[in-house]
Structure 1
């Protein structure tokens, strides 16, 4: 009997060993297997395992890992000690984000903000008992760094050797974590404790067999979160620390920050920036969509980041409200600023939508642009209203404004 057959069945998320045994007994009773040992083997093969002992070990590991996860969630140090003392292999159990391990799960403090004294004590014990502070490429510190309320946890991990300049899974610098969620408190703590704002040199990444992933400021500007005050504070933190960005082109950072005075000064110095396109801006995804600012104007940038005051200044200075982004070799692009404003999560672009409509935004413009982030190859073709309707997470007021505007009839 072959044991190399592809699995016919998939184990449930929480497999039960007794149910699997009962399944084997059903095979025996039906005559499909000559003995219980053969029925157990057949059952294991059905799920892609080479033997019953291997299937049993797998299920037990999942059961025990679930128990450990539950004990960590409850800050139940006695139960954690009991489980790890009896089953030391659980120190590398694939639990938590990315399956990095129990220490990463404990350090994340999911479900509440600031770590409790009990949680800090539990993490201290996990480290002293042999859990690796570097599991997953400093996964514990990466997960803790997602919230400024966890600086006490970050301090504990660093005191035990966690590396603020590590790369989670060899590709995601720890400093990217607070940049992704735009948390200036966590970002500031990491910088104060030696994190490199430019995330290492190209040669360092080459030694790892990787291309440089980009600086922390690149990551911050490219995140999907929209939070003006936190974003501006985080930009300043990184720049004050000497951080650089490939997106620091004329006027771009000022428009992203909503710095009306700086944008005004730049226009006075060089009016060509009103029509300038920025092919390098492969940032701007948010609200469930994959649309970026590649080939866009500063008005598109202001619309993307919700700065109505900057948008008004640009338009009043001569920027075209219906200027289109560049169209690439594949025919992707051509959107006007209102495509960006109307698809911000939670109606955060509403003020810019109102302004653009007031200034004569043409709702009949159609273009081909990237679709939903869960369908990377999807290309949308249509109007701003049709695009906004594809993303209900963007909010209802912007969609209603577009739908009820007289110009929307022209786009039907």
Structure 2
């Protein structure tokens, strides 16, 4: 039986084991015997599996585990940590974070190949781009002196993070207003980057020329930055984009005055349940089925109170409670029996963050910590995308059992557990 063991090299980089895991997965899918034996040797799930079973069931997360164990570590997370903490890449990352130009120059002169390799991830890019994410202009200039070539990627990252001074320098030194460049600031709801591009004459389109795609991304993004979102939507409106006059769009825009008008016209508005198609309207470029929007605890068939929590619209949250919104309002239940969750569920699994203010407020106003519901959520940001189902759970059980721990607000969980 094939046995592969290896030590972590003196100057490791995470891209190497990432590539090895992808290569091992591809080799297994081709039915290569040595690759299949490596899986059986290192992965307890497949130690007695047939070739066909491995080929049909193997995922990238499985080959990552095998690669980690071949490096002598118990899992992929530990391998990533070991590489990040004990390598030249880790030292370079820390030097950039600390804005230590001299240290960056020393590291890159000693290991010039690192100038063109991602420091941390492919998204953040090589040293110049990594520095652009953090607004480290002097380090960007230093990388340029050493021969960095990632001006365009660094420009996009600077805009994504609203590092306008860095973006200006990169633009002046050759980075272009490429089609779709505005999508980054729409993704992160970064109004500084968005305004810079508008002032510079960038087209409000994606890379294919679709003028509705940037607006759709502002509404559908995973980012939760209400003030930036409100400002960007205002800029869209000022440039002639039609934003429907609905309660949901008032929520997206943070417009309490418009919500007041809608409540005056429809006193039952706070009791309404809203569909994904209403939350992510097709007339704004969103997918017709509403399934492109990124959220946490399910929001289909929920009230404005649920939605104010998901989108972190704190002022609207307070306004809804002031007008009598039901803290124990239940979402609609679908034909498979999923739904029926109260707003407290949305505070528990609500994306990265640790603010428990909304949860505490709900509990103070009588939210039932023992309310039960069945929920189903598609996990599409993981190596093995799949549906996750939780039946007849409380808000705390929903949080404790949720497989993506980065989506769970631990502070809220403590509050709910101790209530």
So what's the TM-score if we normalise by structure 2?
A: 0.59
Which position in structure 1 is the counterpart of 2:274?
277
Decide which of 256, 263, 266 is 2:259's aligned counterpart. 263
CA radius of gyration, larger in: 1
SS at match of 2:302: coil
Distance 1:343 1:100 in 2: 25
SS at match of 1:109: helix
Matched, 1:143 2:157: yes
Compute the displacement of 1:263 (Å): 0.8
Which position in structure 1 is the counterpart of 2:142?
122
Decide which of 176, 197, 203 is 1:163's aligned counterpart. 176
Equivalent residues in 2 for 1:177-188, closer than 5 Å: 177-188=184-195
Distance 2:5 2:129 in 1: 35
Q: Go from structure 1 to structure 2 and tell me whether the alpha carbon gap of 1:115 and 1:346 turns closer, same or farther (over 3 Å shift).
A: closer
- The gaps in structure 1 that reach 5 residues or longer are 17-47, 49-64, 167-172, 206-211, 406-412
Q: Go from structure 1 to structure 2 and tell me whether the alpha carbon gap of 1:240 and 1:98 turns closer, same or farther (over 3 Å shift).
A: farther
Contact 1:284 1:293 in 2 (8 A): no
Q: Go from structure 1 to structure 2 and tell me whether the alpha carbon gap of 1:383 and 1:123 turns closer, same or farther (over 3 Å shift).
A: same
So what's the TM-score if we normalise by structure 1?
A: 0.60
- The gaps in structure 2 that reach 5 residues or longer are 13-66, 68-87, 280-290
Decide which of 90, 112, 117 is 1:94's aligned counterpart. 117
Distance 2:8 2:334 in 1: 45
Equivalent residues in 2 for 1:13-412, closer than 5 Å: 14=10, 73=96, 75=101, 90=113, 93-96=116-119, 98-99=121-122, 104-109=126-131, 113-117=134-138, 119-125=139-145, 129=147, 131=149, 133=151, 138-148=152-162, 150-166=163-179, 173-199=180-206, 204=209, 215-242=213-240, 250-271=246-267, 273-274=269-270, 275-280=272-277, 281=279, 282=291, 283=293, 285=295, 290-307=296-313, 309-311=315-317, 313-314=319-320, 319-328=325-334, 331-344=337-350, 345-351=352-358, 353-355=360-362, 358-361=365-368, 363-370=370-377, 374=382, 376-377=385-386, 378-381=388-391, 382-390=393-401, 394-396=409-411, 398-405=412-419
How many residues align structurally? 319
Contact 2:251 2:316 in 1 (8 A): yes
What is the root-mean-square deviation of aligned Cα atoms in Å?
Answer: 4.4
- 1:269-321 deviations in whole A, cap 9, x for unaligned? 23454314222245453xxxx42423322221122234455345546656544
Contact 2:108 2:115 in 1 (8 A): no
Compute the displacement of 1:394 (Å): 1.2
Compute the displacement of 1:116 (Å): 4.0
Distance 1:7 1:159 in 2: 53
Compute the displacement of 1:222 (Å): 3.6
Distance 1:218 1:10 in 2: 47
Contact 1:142 1:174 in 2 (8 A): yes
